């Protein structure tokens, strides 16, 4: 990742077809289109690739989460369990619906810990939202068992893990609804965009209407369409979908490149004393966008992070000190710094938990380095980076 590193003739041709017909909106204007419906084509391709009957495109990964949660029945005062390690969009989507984000510990998968999830379930819990961070997944068997036991909804945030699988099934396809991000730095990109997939006809029908002001999209006259329920505007444009359609057709090639580079890095780091690798749940296959490693403690992790940067190795992330991806820097959430008044249930739910400690999460995140895997590297560059990674980490851990 990211897919923009491989922009080429396919993306240019797809965008040109939209510009040539002049229809940038995904709905309507049928006679002008010359047969080009890029969002519709990408939805069909995404559904086929993800082995589900329904896919729907929206304007961003954040929009995908918001629409998915709403379409799955999450609303005001409901609680949604999500991990301490994610992007801020996860809790933003929950708050956008007036619901309450309930942060929960992660384990050595760097995703939700099933035991911590069960302890966090309460009378207002409506959904569990595992976030498949940095290309790998949560223990979905355990989380699905909890969903069934407590009558909840499972919303998969696969925004960073498109192409990964669990027990042979694509990530995003195992829950009630799954979400992808196609923003500029994802494995495949629309520039800005997101996707929702589901096996549920009911969730799909709600999602495609909710994301377009409530339009039911029945018939050929947009102005005469019905509005079965309230909706908002989370539409994707044809230009963005055109880029994404071309990129989606190249996904398997991108995954192959990532796996090759990832494997070289992993092989180079095998056997270094004091270095451990992130655990991938049994039956899981990563999308190989990041290689995630654990150092013995936070001091060594910070030292290694600085040493790798000094050695010219960019794209290594120490999330523990990151402003956007780990709970330690989310004061704007915990202190309720909102431009508008939040619903009382959300305020109470957040305030009652803002002093919670997440020692288990800190144990793993303070020791974690995530090594980005790029698509554009040539073979010699990958080999040189692998050698430098081994040399620097061996020296730090000596």
d(CA 187, CA 37): 23
> CA 34 to CA 288: how far, in whole Å?
38
The candidate with the shortest Cα–Cα distance to 106, out of 298, 354, 366, 332, is 366
DSSP structure string for 50-76: TT-SEEEEES-HHHHHHHHHHHTT--T
Which of 49, 46, 66, 48 has its CA nearest to residue 57?
46
Q: How many residues does the chain have?
A: 398
- For residue 355, how many other CB atoms are within 10 A of its CB? 7
206 is catalytic: no
How many other C-beta atoms can be found within 10 angstroms of the C-beta atom of residue 98? 16
d(C-alpha 63, C-alpha 178), whole Å:
12
Q: What is the DSSP string of 306-353?
A: HHHHHTT---EE-GGG-TTTBGGG-HHHHTT--SSPPPHHHHHHHHTT
Of 38, 144, 186, 300, catalytic? 186
Which active-site residues does the annotation give?
Answer: 186
């Amino acid at each position: 990742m990211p897919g923009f590193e491989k922009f080429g003739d396919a993306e240019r041709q797809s965008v040109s077809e939209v510009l040539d017909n002049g229809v940038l909106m995904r709905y309507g204007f049928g006679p002008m289109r010359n047969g080009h419906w890029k969002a519709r084509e990408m939805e069909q391709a995404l559904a086929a690739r993800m082995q589900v009957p329904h896919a729907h495109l929206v304007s961003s990964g954040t929009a995908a989460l918001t629409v998915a949660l709403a379409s799955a029945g999450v609303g005001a005062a409901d609680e949604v369990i999500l991990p301490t390690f994610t992007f801020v969009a996860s809790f933003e989507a929950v708050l956008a619906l007036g619901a309450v984000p309930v942060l929960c510990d992660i384990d050595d998968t760097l995703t939700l810990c099933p035991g911590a999830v069960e302890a966090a379930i309460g009378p207002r819990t409506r959904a569990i939202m595992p976030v498949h961070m940095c290309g790998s997944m949560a223990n979905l068997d355990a989380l699905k068992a909890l969903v069934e036991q407590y009558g909840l909804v499972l919303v998969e945030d696969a925004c960073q893990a498109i192409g990964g699988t669990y027990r042979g099934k694509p990530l995003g396809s195992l829950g009630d609804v799954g979400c992808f991000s196609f923003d500029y730095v994802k494995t495949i990109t629309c520039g800005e965009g997101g996707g929702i997939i589901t096996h549920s006809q009911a969730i799909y029908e709600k999602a495609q209407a909710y994301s377009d002001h409530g339009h039911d999209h029945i018939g050929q006259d947009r102005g005469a369409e019905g509005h079965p329920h309230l909706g908002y505007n989370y539409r994707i444009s044809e230009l963005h979908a055109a880029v994404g359609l071309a990129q989606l057709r190249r996904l398997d090639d991108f995954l192959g490149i990532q796996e090759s580079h990832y494997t070289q890095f992993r092989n180079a780091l095998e056997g270094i004393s004091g270095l451990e690798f992130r655990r991938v749940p049994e039956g899981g296959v990563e999308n190989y966008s990041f290689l995630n490693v654990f150092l013995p403690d936070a001091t060594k992790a910070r030292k290694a992070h600085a040493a790798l940067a000094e050695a010219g190795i960019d794209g290594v992330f120490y999330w523990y000190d990151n402003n956007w991806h780990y709970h330690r820097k989310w004061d704007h959430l915990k202190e309720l710094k909102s431009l508008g008044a939040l619903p009382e249930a959300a305020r109470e739910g957040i305030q009652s938990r803002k002093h919670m400690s997440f020692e288990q999460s800190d144990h793993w995140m303070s020791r974690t380095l995530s090594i980005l895997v790029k698509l554009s590297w040539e073979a010699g560059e990958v080999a040189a980076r692998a050698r430098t990674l081994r040399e620097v980490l061996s020296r730090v851990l000596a």
